[in-house]
Amino acid sequence: TTYNVGYIIGSLAKGSINRKLAKALVRLAPDKLNMTEISFADLPLYSYDYDADYPAVANDFKAAIKGSDAILIVTPEYNRSIPGGLKNAIDWASRPYGTNVFKNKPTAVIGASPGAIGTAVGQQVLRPILGFLQAPQMNSVEAYIQMTPDLIDDDGNVSVPGTEQFLRDYMEAFHQHMARVLTVLPRDA
């Protein structure tokens, strides 16, 4: 079986180290995973005032998630939490009430930081959000990546063989996670 995996990058920065990490993960993913970026860059700030008439950009964002077999979130840690843009995007995806597209969606979280904690704290903030939205999360492998300047180049090539293998194993674990989840849960919420 081939799976369509959407990936969301938590950073909007042009020089995002998490975008570099995502490029590496796309490169190292098993052949059975078709990886497509889902961008939240054009979403306005969410308010439930929009619920009666969702903007096209938000419907498109939700449709991209709904149409994916699984979602990978590659995110920085900002102020010991997740970036506001990512939280805003998840809020859009969760509403109007009853149309949460994360429900039953296999998910995995990974992130990179220049610091040794490697987004560990930010990821712990994201987990209860995905839990509340009933997205079955991969509990392990955990992946807290400390990004050094030469670790991953702009094309997603990883310079340290041990890290490259770790990221490959991470994507294989995610592959197995989605295969398990999709065996027992319907694809659509």
Residues that bind ligand FNR (CB under 6 A): 11, 13, 16-18, 76-80, 113-115, 117
Minimum CB separation from ligand FNR for residue 75, in Å? 8
Minimum CB separation from ligand FNR for residue 37, in Å? 14
Q: Which is nearer to ligand FNR, 96 or 114 (CB)?
A: 114
- Separation between Cα atoms, residue 151 and residue 57, nearest integer Å: 35
By the 8 A CB rule, do 134 and 100 touch? yes
Q: Which is nearer to ligand FNR, 86 or 178 (CB)?
A: 86
Token readout for 187 is 């694809």
Minimum CB separation from ligand FNR for residue 137, in Å? 21
Minimum CB separation from ligand FNR for residue 14, in Å? 9
Half-sphere exposure of 49 (CA within 13 A, CB side): 4
> Which positions ≥6 away from 95 have C-beta within 8 Å?
46, 48, 51
